[in-house]
Structure 1
Amino acid sequence: MRSAVLIPCYNEAKTVAKVVADFRRALPDAEIWVFDNASSDDTAALALGAGARVRRVPAKGKGNVVRTMFREVEADVYLMVDGDDTYPAEHALALLEDVIEGRADMVVGTRLEQHDSDSFRRFHGFGNKLVRWSIGRLFGQPVRDVLSGYRAFSRRFVKSMPVLSRGFEIETEMTVFAMANAFVLSERTVPYGVRPEGSESKLNTFRDGFRVLRTIGFLFKDLRPLLFFGTAALLAALASVGFGAFVVHEYSLTGAVTHPSTAVLAAALALTAFILLATGLILDTVNRRSNEILRLITDQVVRYKSE
């Protein structure tokens, strides 16, 4: 099968040549691609010298890089890995195995079980747990590591996913997209190392953490509209019943409505609940039809390219 290793990089001159060489040894038949995200150092030149195919992506942000990778590289199976030399190349075949055998569309190399004490910066562990908890609650499927940059994909997944993220929230989007569209997701434990001295993470703990949580909320609304708007409709309906009960109780005692504003609020909340529920039902139907069309088109594209 045609395989491709996709390495997104931004200012990884200290590590990119080693990463390319390691994955060349681990997957000698694979095409090694380095996507240089407007680096200001010698990342592109060093990757080229190490034998990789280099593609420059001027639009900054990991999501923009992944969009370019997924659209431009043709293969049957894909392996994505960060260029910071924290993921072991010797686990590449293990990640690809489930995809090659047809048991999974995306395999995530989970880092949280095996890592050095200095692998994660302060608050990163808590942030990952918060993201895992949020996705498990909202999408009903527990995952061990949402933010891992070490993943294997099937061609069908790569050519189906309309990458919308621009930054580090891309891993969250890929995970949620797989869950919401019935792609088979599996996880394999991989050891996670420490960046070498002089190499710095580009992840901003609070800014990018907020973006990830915001992305989860938007994806929940877009991919689970009936549950999102249905929950809002239920809350509005319960509030309407509460205010309405107060008005009815008052009328039963006095024979008059002395708080007309409360009665108007109860009626408005009831109308809001109806509108929210109708919105959820309509968007859910549209979403289902759109997914059906997307899958049919993707299946045809994948079959045509395979032939």
Structure 2
Amino acid sequence: MQAKIAVLIPCFNEEPTIGKVVDDFRRALPEATVYVFDNMSTDRTAEIAAEHGATVQRVKLQGKGQVVAKMMETVSADIHLMVDGDDTYPAEDALRLIQPILDDEADMVVGTRLEQHSDEAFRPLHVIGNRLVRGLINVVFRCGLTDIMSGYRAYTAYLARNVPVTAVGFEVETELTLQTLYHGFVIKEVPVHYRQRPEGSESKLRTFRDGSRVLWTIFNIFRSARPITFFGSLAILWMLLGALAAMPGILQYIDHRKVESFPLLFVGVGLVILSFISASIGILLHAMNVRIKEITSLMRKAGGPRRSG
């Protein structure tokens, strides 16, 4: 049975480019249904998308994360192909993104931009930020990904049903990647071309605001997904600081059988207690994670096969 494919385009004020994007993907994937999820644009994005043959759905809650969550909840298709509406991703690469899913090689395929992009497509800070975030995630989650924040990706309907999306803004791509890894799905990367926005099209990405949200997302998921590592590291830190703070008082007692540095000793004891509390929290959360994964696995089995068709 032929897989049902949906092209999903999250949009906010993309009037200059949305018509071309819809046309390009309808040509590249003639059997697919093209959806434009309009985030209450103040220009003619929705009208132009409809005129060019897209199915338009409006999302009232502001933020790209809200739009992506809505897309994953409402669209019924075997494969979802998500792409930005700013005409920076060529439709010619669409089949290369979908093919690994059709071949049952991956649950999500990410179009990596850092190898094949025009010099004007990235701001210098964005390149640096992407690489820093990529390095951090590869260390924390023990993976070898090359582009964490790409907006061009394909994934299965099964993944869409089983991966939560809580991000509000442009950190949603990072969350999608991390949640996919955490829930045990397979990610494959495919190099794609990435070009500069056409004239008249403005980026909604704010470097420092959205960058801080990305880091906060990584922090939260790391804390939840790797509690032993996170709270264990804190426990070691508190223990070392506690030992340093208490050491003068301990040495005074050994040498003179009395303690003059009581404040530091109390601080040291408090930090050691905090160390044991942190370690205990990590162990408890790890046990809860194991149980939750077991329950999730059973629910997935009860819900049917990973792939349809």
TM bin, normalised by shorter chain, reads over 0.9
> What CA distance in whole angstroms lies between the structure 2 residues aligned with 1:155 and 1:295?
17
Task: Describe the shift of the 1:29–1:296 C-alpha distance in structure 2 as closer, same or farther (beyond 3 A).
Answer: farther
Identity %: 46
Counterpart mapping for 1:110-149 below 5 A = 110-149=112-151
* Alpha-carbon shift at residue 297 of structure 1 (Å): 2.8
Secondary structure of the corresponding residue to residue 55 of structure 1: strand
Counterpart residue number, 2:226: 224
> What CA distance in whole angstroms lies between the structure 1 residues aligned with 2:241 and 2:22?
59
Counterpart residue number, 1:267: 269
Secondary structure of the corresponding residue to residue 123 of structure 1: helix
> What CA distance in whole angstroms lies between the structure 2 residues aligned with 1:119 and 1:305?
36
What amino acid is the match of 2:268? Answer: A
Which digits, 9 at most, give the CA deviation of each residue in 1:25-83, with x for residues without a partner?
A: 11111111110011011111111111111110011100000000000001111110001
Counterpart mapping for 1:74-85 below 5 A = 74-85=76-87
Task: Describe the shift of the 1:200–1:302 C-alpha distance in structure 2 as closer, same or farther (beyond 3 A).
Answer: farther
Task: Describe the shift of the 1:42–1:298 C-alpha distance in structure 2 as closer, same or farther (beyond 3 A).
Answer: farther
Contact 2:112 2:192 in 1 (8 A): yes
Counterpart residue number, 2:246: 244
Secondary structure of the corresponding residue to residue 259 of structure 2: coil
Q: Which moved more, 1:45-54 or 1:256-265?
A: 256-265
Q: Does 1:185 align with 2:187?
A: yes
Contact 1:156 1:299 in 2 (8 A): no
CA RMSD of aligned residues (A): 1.7
> What CA distance in whole angstroms lies between the structure 2 residues aligned with 1:236 and 1:295?
36
Contact 1:106 1:151 in 2 (8 A): yes
* Alpha-carbon shift at residue 91 of structure 1 (Å): 0.9
* Alpha-carbon shift at residue 212 of structure 1 (Å): 0.8
Q: Does 1:94 align with 2:96?
A: yes
Counterpart mapping for 1:1-307 below 5 A = 1-303=3-305, 306=308
> What CA distance in whole angstroms lies between the structure 2 residues aligned with 1:298 and 1:194?
41
Q: Normalization by structure 1: what TM-score?
A: 0.95
Which digits, 9 at most, give the CA deviation of each residue in 1:256-299, with x for residues without a partner?
A: 11112222222211111111111111111112222332343344
What amino acid is the match of 1:178? Answer: T
> What CA distance in whole angstroms lies between the structure 2 residues aligned with 1:155 and 1:185?
14
Q: Which moved more, 1:248-257 or 1:75-84?
A: 248-257
> What CA distance in whole angstroms lies between the structure 2 residues aligned with 1:46 and 1:236?
58
Give the aligned length: 307
Contact 1:110 1:188 in 2 (8 A): yes
* Alpha-carbon shift at residue 210 of structure 1 (Å): 1.0
Task: Describe the shift of the 1:235–1:163 C-alpha distance in structure 2 as closer, same or farther (beyond 3 A).
Answer: same
* Alpha-carbon shift at residue 246 of structure 1 (Å): 3.0
Q: Which runs of 5+ in 2 are unaligned?
A: none
Contact 2:82 2:151 in 1 (8 A): yes
Secondary structure of the corresponding residue to residue 146 of structure 1: coil
Contact 1:159 1:302 in 2 (8 A): no
* Alpha-carbon shift at residue 304 of structure 1 (Å): 10
Task: Describe the shift of the 1:54–1:305 C-alpha distance in structure 2 as closer, same or farther (beyond 3 A).
Answer: farther
> What CA distance in whole angstroms lies between the structure 2 residues aligned with 1:11 and 1:300?
42
> What CA distance in whole angstroms lies between the structure 1 residues aligned with 2:245 and 2:43?
63
